[in-house]
Structure 1
């Protein structure tokens, strides 16, 4: 038996450890035995359920607002092997088991060893993202604004040999982007470069999970304290649960279709996983990845996406294609109320990508 796909369930009260000592204890158990470790039902003064998860791809506090059922361990022990047989890695299987055991509530997963969770709820005054253009320059931003796009992400990648001159150029380019978006009343999200985005007055930033993990608890708290809205990438159940802990402006689900924009290990989510994300995230979901044509935009919106991110599909002259893409989004949004949320997502890592 592959021990990495077995689970060891421990009762917090039986352990008799302070909550602060549980992460190290669980890590030690996993290091010795290889199984996924889940410490269940850690007492909380505020009520609700808090568990600790120690798995191959993810670790952290798992928070659910619903009280833990009396037979929680039995329920998790029953669902976990079902999820692993479906092809889910251990972190996803454990979170899905807790999701099922708590009556369909999707957990939130902490980013670090402290049980820090932002209050969940919609961002005040937020409108649907709609057609969400991804651009790499102020000139391209001006094109998509003229074409009628109201939500834009500017992504300017930092080269390995970036020097002071490149940084000055980045500052000038992003300053132009912020000014253009503000004048046009467009919601601008800056990919990475969060300190510069805050300095220039951009309303929001988009960060990948590795970047957010690297910030640490203090860095994430400082980011939120700057008042920026936050978009977060997600590709798996554990990343979705972790994104939920920060109460973001939106959670990106991708890649929905195969994409050549980024080299990544993830299996395409497809419309079924996108619909599951939209039904479970508790936050607006943006569809991203391989979206090139109006029928895809419509299908993604019909699955429940609050926004549909498009890059190459904008073409050389966005004004020629954006009206049809926006029309497709609105048509799909009108169909979203009838969308069916699958009972299960499908695994987003191919077989053999660890536990």
Structure 2
């Protein structure tokens, strides 16, 4: 008999629905231990008179509700428009002024599955991805968590991917120092690192062009090295860099066709399931996932992912695309990160703030061989 897990004493659905609650508890019991969520979410199958900031209001057709949707979202609620279109399931979440449109399968239990994934602490757009990857009866599997990529939905409304995929890079990129200057890139390559990234804070200028050209030249002087340039794709393309690393916000601006045609590698950032699917649409050379742990090197749009989520992401992307773990990783936690099966870990302060950077690089690389 399938186990059940009593969720917190709270209203999961509006109107109250005992059958949905039982299904959500049954599914949740098979998803493992996750930190309890404190978000005040509630799934509303009928628009409530007074929605709260955690409500997710499910409608099959937004048209009759257009006069109210803007008001609901001003109150902090989200709206999920879900239904079957041309035989294909579609679900679009409108939340915080952002539209998250997905196409996939809507299982009979997708709504209780959504409740279960929300209870695991996932943000609504990522929980919705998982709900569309859920199949009725999955709770009877030994490992019920969705990890079959072929079941996952696709993100709608994205620009076309380049005609040719981006050039591949090694499946396991190993230690990946992310460095602030060309001097650092040159030094760390001399220390024996094979994969590095220049994340320069310089504004666009002749000095920046020179810095990127020096990094590319340094990479060519070291056999089998892989130098990625963060953000500055035009300069990297002109310099003939091995690859570039871009954030999701850069995808509509960058000339991805030109980068792919030049044989450059592309790494894309992601911060959860929805952004991971967005990144994979463009067939990048690798997908970075973070922040795994709290980090002070840059402002992060999401809470730290943690090792449990990282392990799930690794299983999902196995054989799909190389993955890079990033964010707050140092020598103390690197063994735990690699225990998830990820083949690459990006580090920043573990190298740049080390008392002996050369020794730090050697020690970190040693962890990959253990």
- Using the TM superposition, give the Cα deviation of residue 51 of structure 1 relative to its aligned residue in structure 2, in angstroms: 2.7
Corresponding residue number in structure 2 for 1:6: 56
- Using the TM superposition, give the Cα deviation of residue 326 of structure 1 relative to its aligned residue in structure 2, in angstroms: 0.9
Q: TM-score, normalised by structure 1?
A: 0.73
Measured in 1, the distance between the counterparts of 2:107 and 2:81 equals 10
Give the SS at the match of 1:215: coil
- The alignment covers a number of residue pairs equal to 299
Please state if 1:262 is matched with 2:298.
yes
Give the SS at the match of 1:260: coil
More helix by share: 1
Residues 320 and 189 of structure 1: CA distance in aligned 2, closer, same or farther (over 3 Å): same
Q: TM-score, normalised by structure 2?
A: 0.70
**Out of 354, 361, 364, which is 1:322 matched to?**
361
Please state if 1:311 is matched with 2:348.
yes
Please state if 1:290 is matched with 2:328.
yes
Measured in 2, the distance between the counterparts of 1:29 and 1:117 equals 36
Once superposed, what is the RMSD of the aligned Cα atoms? Answer: 3.3
Measured in 2, the distance between the counterparts of 1:173 and 1:156 equals 9
Please state if 1:274 is matched with 2:310.
yes
Q: For CA contacts below 8 A with separation 6 or more, give which structure has more relative contact order.
A: 1
Please state if 1:93 is matched with 2:107.
no
Q: Over residues 219-243 of structure 1, what are the superposed CA-to-partner deviations in whole Å (9 max), with x where a residue is unaligned?
A: 5555544443221112222222222
Measured in 2, the distance between the counterparts of 1:181 and 1:312 equals 21
Residues 26 and 238 of structure 1: CA distance in aligned 2, closer, same or farther (over 3 Å): farther
Corresponding residue number in structure 2 for 1:299: 336
- Is 1:278–1:303's contact at 8 Å kept on the other side of the alignment? yes
- Using the TM superposition, give the Cα deviation of residue 117 of structure 1 relative to its aligned residue in structure 2, in angstroms: 5.5
Measured in 2, the distance between the counterparts of 1:122 and 1:183 equals 24
Residues 60 and 245 of structure 1: CA distance in aligned 2, closer, same or farther (over 3 Å): farther
Gaps of 5+ in 1: 16-21, 332-355
Gaps of 5+ in 2: 1-50, 139-145
Give the SS at the match of 1:273: helix
Residues 108 and 172 of structure 1: CA distance in aligned 2, closer, same or farther (over 3 Å): farther
**Out of 181, 190, 197, which is 1:137 matched to?**
181
Give the SS at the match of 1:113: coil
- Using the TM superposition, give the Cα deviation of residue 78 of structure 1 relative to its aligned residue in structure 2, in angstroms: 2.0
- Using the TM superposition, give the Cα deviation of residue 174 of structure 1 relative to its aligned residue in structure 2, in angstroms: 0.5
Corresponding residue number in structure 2 for 1:248: 284
Give the SS at the match of 1:6: strand
